[in-house]
Structure 1
Amino acid sequence: MESEIGRGRTGVVYRAKDLRLDRTLVVKLLAPELGRNETFRRRFVHDIRIAAAIDHPHIVPIFEVGEADGLLYIAMRYIAALNLREILDQYGALSVTGAIRIAGQVASALDSAHAHGVVHGDVSPGNILVARSADEDRPQYAYLTDFGIDIRTLTENFTCTGPFAGTLDYVAPEQISGQPVNRATDLYALACVVYEAIAGDPVFPREEDTALMRAHKRNEPPPLSQRLPGITAHVDDVMRTALAKAPDDRYGSCLEFTEELRAAVGGPEVLPT
């Protein structure tokens, strides 16, 4: 273990050295309280093994999952990149084209995971890495990470306070209600990420968690056209569908959402890979 490079609601991330193969990788140690929950432990190992089998260019490869001294860990490929949370905090909102480009790549990764029966459950800017591409025509290359950490178990069994606290800005209404999550849940979260990437602020800016959860469950998303000049009513319609309260009212896939958004913006085709 060489240095800490981040921490979030579920654990601490380190840059590490694989002594057997002499390569740099990322190791995430999960919060100790998660490892003590047997239900979470079984589901975590099961989901990570399935996620590790997904071969997709926009999903961070998982090398190993295990336990050491009572701590669950995941070893993943090291990617020299900022996550989208860091980019938004440092540089502000993205261009609409840039946001859609990244969203299309993440949507492709999510649809691939859903085809394998895997729901991410925690799509957020902090779980999207954005690296520079060697292709000058496609300068941003996105990777989705943190599959297999079940947010339902976390919120049902532990408080969201302390060093592993996370944001509720991207949580779908059905997650808040404790209902089963599916691909529509990830789509809602992706739409929240896209909204913030374009607007510069979350869909529902709230200081209190209770008020934020209430807004996700009851409030209609403020139209992007009210925040940014040049955004059309068609874009507002697309975002409204993606952020629908009922999962069945959303788009059928994440790529369908990003393709509809691209068409609404009227820009050049944004391919997912």
Structure 2
Amino acid sequence: MDEGSRRDMSVFSGRPSDLIGRQIAGYRIEREIGRGGMAVVYQAKDLRLDRTVALKLLAPELARNDTFRGRFTHESRVAAAIDHPHIVPVFEAGETDGVLYIAMRYVAGRDLRHLLDREGPLPVAVATRIALQVASALDAAHDHGLVHRDVKPGNILVAQGTDSDHPEHVYLTDFGLTKKSLSLTGFTSVGQFVGTLDYVAPEQISGRPVDGRCDVYSLGCVVYETMAGKPPFQRDDDMALLWAHQYDQPPALSTKRPDIPDGVDAVLAKALSKSPDDRYDSCLAFVSALRIAARGQVSGGGTGSRADAEAAPGHPGPPPEPPAWARPVFRH
């Protein structure tokens, strides 16, 4: 390994303070705010525009793989093109000194992982508000042909909302580094994943083609954890956990939260179906059904499509018929 590569690897193997104060691609690094197997995220100052950003530096070995670099460039551009209030905006993505980087909006707040670790199971109203915002972000990404593939509490940022009616503002992050990109380069293969296995869809484990419905499954696991305090499947080792995602049925949420209406169990069971064909067609359809069930109402047997979501409460239907005495002045 040459001297440049050893210097780049210090981003991932050295002390968190090694890069503090250094300038990378026009950004001055101020402090580390997150670390994973393939990336480190720093709070940094954009020296050109004098603003604070979140700067993600990817592992140097990824930059040396031409296939990954091509996928990274394409997916970063797609992510940057999505203008959505619940997706962290991507400002810039590129390569400098053998390291790939992504500059994103810095979100002041904490991620859902820290929130759950601190507070435990969330009230139903809070859990559904968060789920609705995440679902909206995921469906927007799917409309752009981008599947997240790594929906988990650590990728959901919870910031302060605008008012008492919107106490949280949720952002979904980490679109620029997908499992598909890594698998195409040989950094992952069937049975190997970056990050936690608690939220991975069965088709990802078996190596089958994936679409937006794998994000429905992962969001279902996240929603389950926000209400139960733990993910739906807990096993002693990774292989047992992978087996559970593929073949075991999740325990009913109502056994852990008796205060939640029984209808929520059926909604989660559908979202966590082993086959994508048996799940909701969109994340918003899933969360819309969840909100109805959480109110103790019975769904009208919808198909689970986005059209059903648009017909859910909050979307006005046709106006009611006028009373008999007023009909002469109404025209149909």
Give TM-score scaled by structure 1 length: 0.93
How far is 1:38 from its partner? 2.1
Distance, in Å, in 1 between the alignment partners of 2:105 and 2:271 is 31
How far is 1:165 from its partner? 5.5
How far is 1:247 from its partner? 0.7
Unpaired runs of 5+ in structure 1? none
How far is 1:251 from its partner? 0.3
Q: Secondary structure at 2:162's aligned position in 1?
A: coil
1:85-104 matches, within 5 Å, as 85-104=113-132
Q: Which amino acid aligns with 2:273?
A: A
Contact 1:101–1:270 (Cα < 8 Å) also in 2:
no
State which drifts further: 36-45 or 128-137.
Answer: 36-45
* 2:198 pairs with one of 169, 178, 181: 169
How far is 1:226 from its partner? 1.0
Give TM-score scaled by structure 2 length: 0.77
Aligned to 2:66: 38
Distance, in Å, in 2 between the alignment partners of 1:111 and 1:66 is 26
Q: Secondary structure at 2:149's aligned position in 1?
A: coil
Distance, in Å, in 2 between the alignment partners of 1:39 and 1:245 is 31
Contact 1:152–1:175 (Cα < 8 Å) also in 2:
no
Aligned to 1:259: 288
Aligned to 1:134: 162
Aligned to 1:214: 243
Unpaired runs of 5+ in structure 2? 1-28, 298-311, 315-332
Matched, 1:232 2:258: no
Distance, in Å, in 2 between the alignment partners of 1:159 and 1:120 is 16
State which drifts further: 253-262 or 25-34.
Answer: 25-34
Matched, 1:243 2:258: no
State the superposition RMSD in angstroms.
1.9
Q: Secondary structure at 1:193's aligned position in 2?
A: helix
Matched, 1:48 2:47: no
How far is 1:155 from its partner? 5.7
How far is 1:113 from its partner? 0.8
**Deviations, residues 232-253 of structure 1 (Å, cap 9, x unaligned):** 3311100000000111110011
Distance, in Å, in 2 between the alignment partners of 1:175 and 1:201 is 21
State which drifts further: 87-96 or 185-194.
Answer: 87-96
The structure, 1 or 2, with the larger RCO (C-alpha pairs under 8 Å, 6+ apart) is 1
How far is 1:130 from its partner? 0.2
Aligned to 2:143: 115
Aligned to 1:184: 213
Distance, in Å, in 1 between the alignment partners of 2:229 and 2:247 is 22
How far is 1:179 from its partner? 1.4
